[in-house]
Amino acid sequence: MGRSCSMFPCLADPARRSSLFLKMALVTVHLIYAGVLFLFDGGLIEKTRKEPWYTALYLLLFVATLVQYFVASLSSPGYVLDAMRAVNERDAVYRKTYTTSKQPASSKNGNFIVTLDGSQLGSSLLGSNSTSWSKLVADLYPPGTTIRTWTCTYCNVEQPPRAKHCHDCDKCVLQFDHHCVWLGNCIGQGNHCRFWWFICEESALCLWTGILYISYLKAYISRACYLILTNQTTYELVRRRRIFYLRGIPERVYPFSKGVCRNLYNFCFARSSIYSMERLPTLQELEEMSMPHTCWDVVACRYC
């Protein structure tokens, strides 16, 4: 771990390391979730050959969801500290420009020396003892509210309304929504829309993949039920013509079947021994099985 930390400095921080592993785990889960279908679902593979646009559309949504995940995960939620810096810097530039235009610049050795004096801006613009951010935040609260009520007790910055300190990020966030552990990021003013798009895309992807799984498992489960109710094995179904004692038996005759209900009962409850063996039906029994089904057979529950 120490060697990998020296190669990748981002792995040195435990919080960043766990966030990175979580992202890798989520991407892996997505790949496995969709990959299983493309590896084992014969119906989907066949559909991909016939209608490639269908799979292309699915893969497009898959990639877009992962891209949106990283975009939402890596984008800033809008930290109060960054906003404060931006406001103060902007006003410092404004203050510099204002002072330069008001004061005569003197030239010394060919260089312009600019004297900055914020107090000359007057209390009408910034106030002599408070920063631009403090003034801005104070104006957002009703008059009479004390500065102590909107100052964060953890990072000591002045919070505008709707901002909150996130204990996971250890920063104050503008329009704090929540801290998403799956993204490893806060959701706030800066990335709320991206997060919403990610949720939409992820929901659509899960729904689509779920439908693909249902259709895949439906065929699989239907076949498994059919085998149980007719007392057949997959091998007997697939290789029927190669098994010598089944070769001459008509397709719709199931030689080991004892009726639907008894087959089901035997499959679920009557397996007293794993070594119980079944005999082949006699020719007379096979003839009886081959006889066409009548309505009376069904009413009399002959095949139950």
Stretch of 27-35, 105-113, 144-152, 290-298 contacting Zn ion, by CB under 5 A: 144-152
Q: Is 50 helix (H, G, I), strand (E, B) or coil?
A: helix
Binding to Zn ion in span 272-301, by CB under 5 A: none
126 touches Zn ion (CB under 5 A): no
Residues that contact Zn ion, how many (by CB under 5 A): 10
Structure tokens at 188: 């706030």
186 touches Zn ion (CB under 5 A): yes
Residue in this structure with the two tokens 């309505």, named with its chain if needed: 295
Closest approach of Zn ion to the CB of residue 126, in Å: 24
23 touches Zn ion (CB under 5 A): no
Residue 149 or 273 having the CB closest to Zn ion: 149
235 contact partners, CB below 8 Å, separation of at least 6: none
Whole-angstrom CA distances from 131 to 126, 134, 152 are 7, 5, 16
When binding is defined by CB under 5 A, the residue of 71, 155, 229, 286 that contacts Zn ion is 155
Closest approach of Zn ion to the CB of residue 80, in Å: 7
169 touches Zn ion (CB under 5 A): yes
Closest approach of Zn ion to the CB of residue 169, in Å: 3
Residue 66 or 163 having the CB closest to Zn ion: 163
Q: Is 31 helix (H, G, I), strand (E, B) or coil?
A: helix
Active site residues: 180
Closest approach of Zn ion to the CB of residue 72, in Å: 13
170 touches Zn ion (CB under 5 A): no
Binding to Zn ion in span 215-254, by CB under 5 A: none
84 touches Zn ion (CB under 5 A): no
273 contact partners, CB below 8 Å, separation of at least 6: none
Residue 191 or 231 having the CB closest to Zn ion: 191
Closest approach of Zn ion to the CB of residue 199, in Å: 17
166 touches Zn ion (CB under 5 A): yes
Residue 87 or 152 having the CB closest to Zn ion: 152
Phi-psi region of 105 (alpha: psi -120 to 50; beta: other; left: phi over 0): beta
- What's the CA gap between 112 and 115, in Å, rounded? 10
163 touches Zn ion (CB under 5 A): no
Contact yes or no for 163/174 (Cβ under 8 A) = yes
- What's the CA gap between 33 and 39, in Å, rounded? 11
152 touches Zn ion (CB under 5 A): yes
Closest CA to 254 of 235, 275, 229: 229
Structure tokens at 171: 């920063």
Residue 268 CA neighbour count, 13 Å, CB half: 8
DSSP label of 246: T
Q: Which residues bind Zn ion (CB under 5 A)?
A: 152, 154-155, 165-166, 168-169, 172, 179, 186
